[in-house]
Structure 1
């Protein structure tokens, strides 16, 4: 690998591109809608800069891929990997799972609910899961699964990156659980459509972390 940092296993989180509902402020929840043409271009632009052999997100270094089963996430995954998607579409590294599908917002489903963007996040989650503890357990299992997969490779024994392609709400809560925070911890986060975030583990202590800055692989 190019440098010592590249040997540390990472978790790439990717939010799907724009949808018609997101464009006008509707929260999509469990509705299964597709990306807009702009949403596809957003993801394609990200992919052209960051995804591919020798780039920041190198598919050959992925040991596991988790994708939401919603159309907008599946389209994002296909666009993100481009031609390489066909090569790995039947790969056993890929898991399509409801665990990272966006939660239904029940009373706000099909409605404009800007108040849900940050301060009432925990209310949205507990409508479905009834308690913060259940939310924590739900995503905590995924966090532990990923850590178990990466733990044998903390010294660079093998490339061991993980990719998650999902939705804005679920990914923001996943970040909190990765860092060991409760789901109602006041950690404001923004994630633009079609964007990529990076989580990792400190190689010396295996303490979870997120990267607040990144350098692209050297040419």
Structure 2
């Protein structure tokens, strides 16, 4: 790793693997779905490549793991850290509703096109198409509510990492959660408003990487790309 990568704390965003609803683009909030067999393979492959001693996510450098309580996220956590022998009852692991998926309310189980059609039947969105980042979800959460709970997590993470910005002690953090909420987290990490247009993609079983520029807690950033650590 470069000197900056090795000494400045990072935050890894781990999206759960594929579910049946992931495959066809249905909004999945509180519905409890398990990973598909392929979803388990996705996460196992990520773990083999990226999680372990001297790998991108080195358990020896991880001080906190936030996990969504939804079954698909817990399964993903178990697959990611199985070889590292880190279980849900480990003192570093925190199950929290603050990073569970967006509460889609009336839109649970629907696809984007179905949601937009449903709203137009009610005479809504005459001038602009529905945008979850701006309009939120009927019977569910608004973007402001999402921002508030994610900001709590971000504040906790910064309090954990603030004393160690120059490598005084390893202080990496991992979030194991869902595709939509992790993209929301990305915006709030950078202090962007939720409604700001920013096209982002995070594949099932993928890992995103956030950090800080110039070893400065007040300069949160993200890695466009990152070299993998050497075994040497």
User: TM-score w.r.t. structure 1 length?
Assistant: 0.91
Task: Note if contact 1:102-1:166 (Cα within 8 Å) is conserved in structure 2.
Answer: yes
Which blocks of at least 5 consecutive residues in structure 1 are unaligned?
none
Task: Note if contact 2:15-2:177 (Cα within 8 Å) is conserved in structure 1.
Answer: yes
Match of 1:145 in 2: 156
SS of equivalent residue, structure 1 residue 128: coil
Report the CA distance shift for 1:115/1:152 in structure 2 as closer, same or farther (over 3 A): farther
Match of residue 215, structure 1, among 224, 227, 231: 227
Residues 96-107 of structure 1: pairs in structure 2 closer than 5 A = 96-107=95-106
Task: Note if contact 1:54-1:217 (Cα within 8 Å) is conserved in structure 2.
Answer: yes
Task: Note if contact 1:25-1:114 (Cα within 8 Å) is conserved in structure 2.
Answer: no
Task: Note if contact 2:4-2:215 (Cα within 8 Å) is conserved in structure 1.
Answer: no
Match of 1:179 in 2: 190
User: TM-score w.r.t. structure 2 length?
Assistant: 0.86
Distance in 1 separating the partners of 2:30 and 2:198: 24
Distance in 2 separating the partners of 1:127 and 1:31: 15
Match of 1:110 in 2: 109
Which blocks of at least 5 consecutive residues in structure 2 are unaligned?
116-128
SS of equivalent residue, structure 2 residue 181: helix
Match of 2:202 in 1: 191
Task: Note if contact 2:164-2:170 (Cα within 8 Å) is conserved in structure 1.
Answer: yes
CA shift digits 1:48-99 (9 cap, x unpaired): 11110000001111111100001100000000112324x4442211100111
Match of 1:21 in 2: 21
Match of 2:44 in 1: 44
User: Does 2:94 align with 1:95?
Assistant: yes
Distance in 2 separating the partners of 1:95 and 1:45: 24
RMSD, aligned CA: 2.2
Distance in 1 separating the partners of 2:228 and 2:130: 34
Task: Note if contact 2:21-2:28 (Cα within 8 Å) is conserved in structure 1.
Answer: yes
SS of equivalent residue, structure 1 residue 164: strand
Distance in 1 separating the partners of 2:145 and 2:107: 21
Residues 23-172 of structure 1: pairs in structure 2 closer than 5 A = 23-85=23-85, 87-114=86-113, 120-122=131-133, 123-124=135-136, 128-130=140-142, 132-172=143-183
Distance in 2 separating the partners of 1:156 and 1:126: 45
CA shift digits 1:112-169 (9 cap, x unpaired): 33577x9712223575344x44332221111111011000000100110000000011
**What is the number of residues matched between the two proteins?**
217
Query: Max radius of gyration: which structure?
Result: 2
SS of equivalent residue, structure 1 residue 13: strand
